[in-house]
Amino acid sequence: MGSSWLCFSLSFLLVLHGTFAQQRYQQQQGQCQLNRLNPQEPTVRIQAEAGVTELWDKNNQQFQCAGVSLVRHVIQSRGMLLPSYLNTPLLAYVEQGRGFFGIMNSGCPETFQSSQQFQQGERGAGSRFQDRHQKIGQFKQGDIIAFPAGAAHWAYNEGNEELVLVCFEDSGNSANQLDQNSRRFFIAGNPQQGEQQQGQQGGSRSFQKEQFQSGNVFRGIDLELLAEAFGVSKETARKLQGEEDQRGHIVNIDQGLRVVRPPFSQEQEEREERQEQGQYGPRANGIEETICSAKLRQNIDNPARADVYNPHAGRFTTVNSLTLPILSFLRLSAARGVLYRVSHNYLLLLLLPLFV
């Protein structure tokens, strides 16, 4: 079922995204006149301690013409996708599971704070530790999550089932100033250690290395300079570099991840959904949404939000800058369709560029 869904969704993704991408790559006229779209399967499978990442071959002509890269993360219960950032905007669709995520935008304040008292030494000398970070967001099945280019982010699976994230990377976006490749930079762990490369094509190994650079960004910084910059010991700085970490880019947290975040109940979730259904576009309340306070998540799985509905054919739901304003900044939009065919449901995820 999952394989059929992905193949089906990729075909439609490329139809619409490729149509717009042809306007962007005028220099490739004659090369992107595709007469037939073929379903694609992942070409690289990267195994880590608490999950697996699958990547589609970016060198495929269909992806090249569309200017996109596609990645799927499967994260086990209590597994965490380590913090990283990309040189392109990212849309993540929660195909299965639930959890929470964090984002770190450069220049934004750490608005989630907590002070904790703990004892140190035999005499019980007290010391205070302050946990500070930028905002934490919840997500569930059917959510679309938007991340700007350069914004570091992580995801944690707090459910009892596997968490499946399908990530769409707009490598053709103007935010990508390097080339037409999407690159991920980890700021924790050692992503290439303990991973199994199972490419189905000869060029898969080099493709994987481009997507997941060896080590994290601290690896290239001198140990003494790193320790001085963070005000920590050399041993702690060495751990930040992660050279001896063998777990890969998705790690298991045995005791569960505890972070500072507000309580989130089912009632709050239902209230948010009712508010979303009762408004078309952002509220004009006099408080302008900034990149630091922007809403990043929108559920696209609720049948009540369908823009097109036919009880015999299916439904179609869109998310754009009117329902999720940050998409205007990313110049992207998203849509999800559920198509009925006899007794089988074919799920369709469309992630489309928005050009203005």
Cα gap 261→272, rounded to integer Å: 17
> Can you list the residues of the chain whose pLDDT is less than 50?
4-5, 7-23, 25-27, 117-124, 193-197, 199, 202-204, 208, 279-282, 284, 286-287, 343-344, 354-356
Q: What is the pLDDT of residue 210?
A: 55
Cα gap 177→155, rounded to integer Å: 26
Cα gap 323→332, rounded to integer Å: 12
Q: What is the pLDDT of residue 246?
A: 86
Query: Can you tell me whether residue 166 is helix, strand or coil?
Result: strand
CATH superfamily of 2-32+43-112+135-217+247-277+296-353: Jelly Rolls (2.60.120.10)
Q: What is the pLDDT of residue 253?
A: 93
Q: What is the pLDDT of residue 162?
A: 97
Give tens-digit pLDDT for 82-98.
Answer: 999 999 999 999 999 99
Q: What is the pLDDT of residue 119?
A: 44
Report the DSSP pairing between strands 332-341 and 184-186. Answer: unpaired
Sign of CA dihedral 117, 120, 124, 126: negative
Cα gap 36→115, rounded to integer Å: 59
Q: What is the pLDDT of residue 30?
A: 57
Q: What is the pLDDT of residue 99?
A: 95
The pTM of this model reads: 0.78
Output the CA–CA distances (angstroms, integers) from residue 54 to 120, 167, 205, 208, 273, in the order listed.
45, 10, 13, 10, 32
The angle subtended at Cα 96 by Cα 90 and Cα 99, nearest 5°, is 75
Output the CA–CA distances (angstroms, integers) from residue 274 to 145, 263, 269, 270, in the order listed.
19, 19, 9, 6
Q: What is the pLDDT of residue 76?
A: 96
Helical segments of the chain, H only:
2-24, 61-66, 204-211, 223-230, 234-241, 266-277, 326-330
